[in-house]
């Protein structure tokens, strides 16, 4: 018995990857891994993954978004919270600290003409001590660099069957 697949329901392949930076410039890749480790050291694991998820959404990095939503789930973050990151302002799923980290991540990711608004920075500074705030900023900066690698080189998440 042959199963016929409706062409409209067939998966469409992602664009082909462009270049493998990790293989071609391994010293750069190792430095990025070290930067990521340094940024995340001592940062609350949920806050860390929320930062990575939100920046990856904003930057359109499918590879990083896939990786960090899986990481968040594997460390016990609820499906509702993972999905809610895209609309975090309109949900009751996040703590004040998580909201401040998400707002700061958005500001760092989007930057804009006037940089990070004082009210966004001040909100985060009021909820995180200086060391934690430094880690939040470092993580937002680092995931933005990873996202640029993923988007520029067209890293593609692996397809997993449900």
Taking only the tens place, the pLDDT of each residue in 64-94 is 999 999 999 999 999 999 999 999 999 999 9
Q: Averaged over 32-46, what is the pLDDT?
A: 95
Question: How many CB atoms are located within 10 Å of the residue 38 CB?
Answer: 13
Q: How confident is the model at residue 160 (pLDDT cuts 50, 70, 90)?
A: low
Distance, in Å, from the CA atom of 102 to the CA atom of 136, rounded to the nearest integer, reads 9
Which CATH superfamily does the domain covering 27-153 fall into?
Answer: AhpD-like (1.20.1290.10)
Phi and psi at 5, nearest 5°, equal: -100, 130
CA distance readout (Å), 155 to 23, 113, 152: 13, 29, 8
Question: Percentage of the chain surpassing pLDDT 70?
Answer: 95
CA distance readout (Å), 64 to 61, 80, 90, 132, 154: 6, 19, 24, 23, 11
């Amino acid at each position: 018995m042959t199963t016929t697949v409706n062409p409209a329901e067939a998966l469409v392949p992602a664009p082909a990857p462009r270049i493998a930076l990790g293989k071609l410039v391994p010293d750069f890749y190792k430095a990025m891994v070290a930067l990521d480790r340094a940024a995340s050291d001592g940062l609350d694991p949920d806050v860390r993954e929320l930062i990575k998820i939100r920046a990856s959404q904003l930057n359109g990095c499918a590879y990083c978004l896939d990786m960090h939503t899986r990481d968040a789930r594997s460390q016990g973050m609820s499906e509702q919270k993972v999905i809610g990151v895209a609309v975090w302002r309109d949900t009751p799923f996040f703590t004040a600290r998580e909201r401040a980290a998400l707002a700061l991540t958005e500001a760092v990711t989007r930057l804009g003409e006037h940089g990070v608004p004082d009210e966004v920075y001040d909100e985060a500074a009021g909820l995180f001590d200086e060391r934690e705030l430094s880690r939040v900023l470092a993580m937002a900066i680092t995931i933005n660099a990873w996202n640029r690698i993923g988007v520029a080189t067209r890293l593609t998440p692996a397809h997993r069957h449900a």
